[in-house]
Structure 1
Amino acid sequence: MSSSGEEEALQVPKPVDYGSISAPELPSPADEKLPRSVFLIILISLFIYVFLSALDSTMVATLLGVIASDMNELENVSWVAASYLLSCAAFQPLFGKISDIFGRKPIVQICAILFAIGCAMCGITTSFWSLVAGRFITGIGGGGLNAMASITVSDIVSKRQRGLYQGYLNIFFHCGAASGGVIAGVFERLFGWRSAFLVQVPVCLICIFLTQLYFQLPKSSVGNGMQGHGYWKKLAHIDYTGSFILVSALLALMLAASFAGQEQDSSPLLFRGLVLYSVFGLVSFYYYDLKVASQPIIPIRLLHNRTVLASSLCCWFISMNLFTCLFYLPFYWSAVKNLSPLECGMRLILGSFAASVSSMVAGYIIRQSGRYWRQQLYTGIVVVLGSLLVFSSRRNDSVILDSLVNVPLRYGTSSVITILLIAMISSVKSNEQALVTSIQYGFRSTGSTLGVSLASALLQFSLRGQLNSRFAKLSDIPEKWVGKLDLIKNSALADPSYTFTGAPQFARNAILDSYDYSCHIVFGFLIVTGLLSLVSICFIEDHDLESDK
């Protein structure tokens, strides 16, 4: 269906000035379409939602060991983290279209309620698989809150101001991500690990209350949803078939990636089946969306837009790059340099600060210049250089070098992601801004999960080969260890800390060298994804934002 036909079917008012408040109106409360107090309360609520979502997603990493010990589920504990990522990646793309139908306010509230329910389930359950289900529900809500925050900000600020406000959102995101482990550790020590989930519930409920009282958008905004339609008629406009095909295909893809990353040798048929279904599902979704659906959940024709497609691919590769670095640079420090989680976390602080600052800088430059392409190209180059810098890491680097090594990459990736959103919403019509925002978040969440899983598969494959090769060259093996080399290798594969806690002296250098080499294979993956993102940037068009101040 054409864009005009879709707009007529939804019967939404055509937005004025991109459905937003223009920049000259923002500083003066007297001239605003929204009262200044309402505008600020909406922003503060969105900031808190983003903070909680980021906090929740990172604090689980700190609690996994405690949860595994308390519930005696060491073999399955990875599903506590994986279930969140799966639901987040699968459902995030749906929120743009659904919020166009029902309006931003009810969808924000539903996402917040799901987030609160999921956290409450995690805090009170005594069953491990109920905990996993709680994390799955939390992922739907948390992923939705992230996407809806960006979509809603686009409704109330102009395109030229948009990057600056995305920078504000990113500050809260990075603060939440950086403090998640610390807050989880404090509450776990004082009140038990369940309290780290429960403490988020009242905060979320307060934001839901504020949203109910104060959330409103300019009357001309498409974010107010379909006008003149009842609840049941709005439900009839949802593309249930397309939503099911897309969600199930993405779930299959994420599960396959998780199995690949965890090297599930015991279930090759399941892995192949998931891959085949995900490919079949995505191809079917493309055909159904393009040829059959009258009001598709994500109009696939938007990906025929050169800027939207290039921006989406760039976002995909950038997310792979960023999350691979966030997961495997600390892993390198831990496995090769024997650093504690706290020491690794301290070395990431400067990178988190750089990521927050870069979003603000990118938004400010866009507001001042009204252009974004050159800045995006420069920061894309910074990502490649930052990836090379991470690749140059050595086990004898000082604390200062370790702290600085991820700063350029974090600065570049955060800036690129911020500018990508501006590029995407500036290349489509006003009633499509929520849809392309959902597309970006869909590519971000799938890219991050796929990136970490591919990096894990690379690490495992390389590590196994390196251990076999280096152990074959060992000499002067003590007599008591003859015939036990396979046991040592399997222990080294299963536990990165085995080098320092139980490995015999004659094998330690071989294990350390294997981990060092394999981690640098992963760092080489950073360079590849950085280059692919830079190539994608070259195909993005530069739209003039001068007319939208």
Structure 2
Amino acid sequence: MPSQAIETSPLLLASPDRQDGSSNGHSNGNGSSPELYRVSSTPSATLSASTNSQAISKGRGFAIAISMWVLIFMQASNMSGMTMAQSVVAADLDAYEHAMWFTSTYLIAAASFAPLAGRLASIFAASHLIAASSTFFTLGAVISAKATTLAVFLLGRVVLGVGGAGVMTLSLITVLQLTSKRRRGLFIGLVNAGFTVGLSLGAVVYGALLPLMSWRTLFLIQAPLSLFAGVGVLLSMPELPELDSDDEDEDDLDNLKKELTVWQKLSRIDYVGAALLTLTIVSFLYGLAGTIQLLPIFLSAVSLAAFIFTEFWYVPHVSGGDPIVPLEVLCSRGVLFSCLSQLGVMAARWTILYYAPIYVLAVRGFSAATSGSALIPTNLGFGTGGLIVGWLHVRRAGHFWLPSVVSVIFFSSTLFIVGLLSRAHADSLGTACYILALFLNGFCTGAYLNYTLAHVLHLTRPSTHFIITSLLATFRGFSGSFGTSIGGGFFMRRLAVQLADGFSRLDGGNLSSGRQVLITRLVGSPALVWGNDAQGHPVLTDAEREVAVLGYESALGHLYRWAAFTAMVVIFIQASTGWAAPKPRLSSTSSVLPGPSGLLGYEDGDETVDEDEIREAIVEHDATMEA
């Protein structure tokens, strides 16, 4: 009886007494010997599952999880929490007109440095980079807490954003290194849930602590927490192997890199490309922040062209270093469309995150505290969707093309439903349906992010996974600027038109100057719709409030319909990513491994596929047969 196979058993074994390639009694169907697959003859050639996953103790795993959770929570809470501290910071620094930059500088820095963090992760240990990111976060918190001018405070926010970029990217890279493909989806869902918890509770925590302490103390207490969390990861995380290379030449190059000193590794970094890519992202997001500015956007296009020239010509022919984004990634259709798809979906998602509380505040007339609770069901759905999909479905290698496309279809449908339900006169059933639609929108988003990450990893080689993960994080960071700038501009223009039409009818066809001032105030402050003045009297009359409520209702409906249309366009972009894995690179070193003719689509010859590619193909074939 043959020995029972276990999970770590080799998928294919060469018979020790058949190194000549004889069939051992098996035929390929035409009486000839079976075709031969060659793999490395070293002991590491055993095709075990999950070569990059690490067995760690429960104590280490708990320490890593808690430390990373603290960093993830603080990184995400600095986005939403700043909205609660914005007023007191602006009053202390006398910077009311620049208050929007408190959050924008953080988001721009986080998005701009994410690709660099991903590239450094392919050179240095992830634990060292996480410790460095926590150090930046600590410095940024101290600088922000001690700031006495706007410039110093914004500098602190930039340093915080640099640390946040490392946390955002390296948390996903750590999952790729520490988990097997069978459990990868679950842990990616946990990471996304951690970001969602931080984003949801950030404003709550900041709002609860601000009455008890000054905003400076609130920033200062983040410094030791971040530092201790970074040290916890550094001391707890085991030494992790690099992702398997795809061919023998890359193996030789990797071995050479391991022999280099730290300064030699640093000298190989493409600093020109890193600077140009950062300039491109910063200029582009700066142009979208607040009022759209064409000059920074044009500058970003110029720097993008210079970056492409650097990566395709300067680095290979002049500097000879490692490109900040490998050419294989730059030329990948799957990576490009995956990034664009994530940008479109998350930009549409931000219309929910930003305008759902405004609907509850301006249209339904609830308090500001109650309005903020509108984000609870959608963020709960976001975390639940990522966890359930990762736990039950993303448990194998192979493509997830159809689930990715279907999740975008359902996502666009929920946006359209939210637009239909954003009405002023809604009964209890309509309110319940609105909350359910918010939950389902979050659920579809969480499922989509998990599916698309697993899918794009299938479309690319393991040696590029780190930089691809960071690129997805960068485009995810773009989405906030797209959703709030482009979507916000559309919403405010539509609202101003609706208010002007309504107040014109009240004034008999002629809009008075007082009404024009009122329109400007209502567009900028939705709380005025149901708000009171200093004496406790309503700011608006009943007729004016009716016009304002209907204006907000109409503007929100149009915004969500356009967001749903954008998501429908994304369906075709996501479908264009394809589902075929990259063709295996050929390896010339070899002991002989018999296999069925045409299993991987290659003919007999002296060169055959790498062992990891064989494993990937077999697992994908098994998954297809299972489906």
Per-residue deviation, 1:194? 2.6
Matched, 1:381 2:409: yes
Aligned length: 518
1-structure distance, mates of 2:407, 2:199:
22
SS in 2 for 1:380: helix
Matched, 1:278 2:300: yes
2-structure distance, mates of 1:47, 1:175:
10
Q: Residues 58-77 of structure 1: matches in 2 within 5 Å?
A: 58-77=80-99
Unaligned runs of 5+ residues in structure 1 are 1-13, 27-31, 262-270
Matched, 1:347 2:374: yes
Per-residue deviation, 1:34? 4.1
2-structure distance, mates of 1:319, 1:336:
25
1-structure distance, mates of 2:546, 2:171:
49
Contact 2:130 2:234 in 1 (8 A): no
2-structure distance, mates of 1:499, 1:58:
24
Matched residue type, 1:508: R
Q: Residues 24-63 of structure 1: matches in 2 within 5 Å?
A: 33-63=55-85
Q: Residues 78-477 of structure 1: matches in 2 within 5 Å?
A: 78-219=100-241, 221=243, 226-260=257-291, 271-294=293-316, 295-368=322-395, 370=397, 372-392=400-420, 393-397=422-426, 398=428, 399-475=431-507
Q: Using a 3 Å threshold, how does the CA distance of structure 1 residues 38 and 127 change in structure 2: closer, same or farther?
A: same
Per-residue deviation, 1:516? 2.0
Which of 561, 566, 571 is matched with 1:534 structurally? 571
Which of 536, 547, 560 is matched with 1:523 structurally? 560
2-structure distance, mates of 1:239, 1:494:
44
SS in 2 for 1:518: helix
1-structure distance, mates of 2:58, 2:541:
67
Per-residue deviation, 1:35? 4.3
Contact 1:20 1:155 in 2 (8 A): no
1-structure distance, mates of 2:48, 2:423:
49
2-structure distance, mates of 1:160, 1:536:
27
Unaligned runs of 5+ residues in structure 2 are 1-41, 246-253, 317-321, 532-538, 582-615
Contact 1:477 1:506 in 2 (8 A): no
Matched residue type, 2:413: L
Matched residue type, 2:480: S
1-structure distance, mates of 2:49, 2:93:
51
TM norm structure 1: 0.87
1-structure distance, mates of 2:298, 2:241:
46
Q: Using a 3 Å threshold, how does the CA distance of structure 1 residues 48 and 21 change in structure 2: closer, same or farther?
A: farther
Q: Which moved more, 1:483-492 or 1:289-298?
A: 483-492
Aligned equivalent of 2:600: none
| Percent identical residues | 21
SS in 1 for 2:325: coil
SS in 1 for 2:373: helix
Matched residue type, 2:404: Q
Per-residue deviation, 1:523? 1.2
Contact 2:383 2:446 in 1 (8 A): yes
Which of 490, 497, 520 is matched with 2:520 structurally? 490
Contact 2:424 2:550 in 1 (8 A): no
Per-residue deviation, 1:319? 1.3
2-structure distance, mates of 1:107, 1:50:
15
Contact 2:76 2:195 in 1 (8 A): yes
Instruction: Name the structure with the higher helix share.
Output: 1
Per-residue deviation, 1:505? 4.3
2-structure distance, mates of 1:437, 1:512:
43
Contact 2:381 2:441 in 1 (8 A): no
Contact 1:159 1:422 in 2 (8 A): no
Please say which structure displays the higher CA radius of gyration: 2
Q: Using a 3 Å threshold, how does the CA distance of structure 1 residues 156 and 129 change in structure 2: closer, same or farther?
A: same
SS in 2 for 1:297: coil
Contact 1:156 1:217 in 2 (8 A): no
Contact 1:327 1:452 in 2 (8 A): yes
Q: Which moved more, 1:353-362 or 1:192-201?
A: 192-201
SS in 1 for 2:393: helix
Q: Using a 3 Å threshold, how does the CA distance of structure 1 residues 124 and 222 change in structure 2: closer, same or farther?
A: farther
User: How large is the Cα RMSD of the aligned pairs?
Assistant: 2.9
SS in 2 for 1:547: helix
TM norm structure 2: 0.77
2-structure distance, mates of 1:90, 1:362:
29
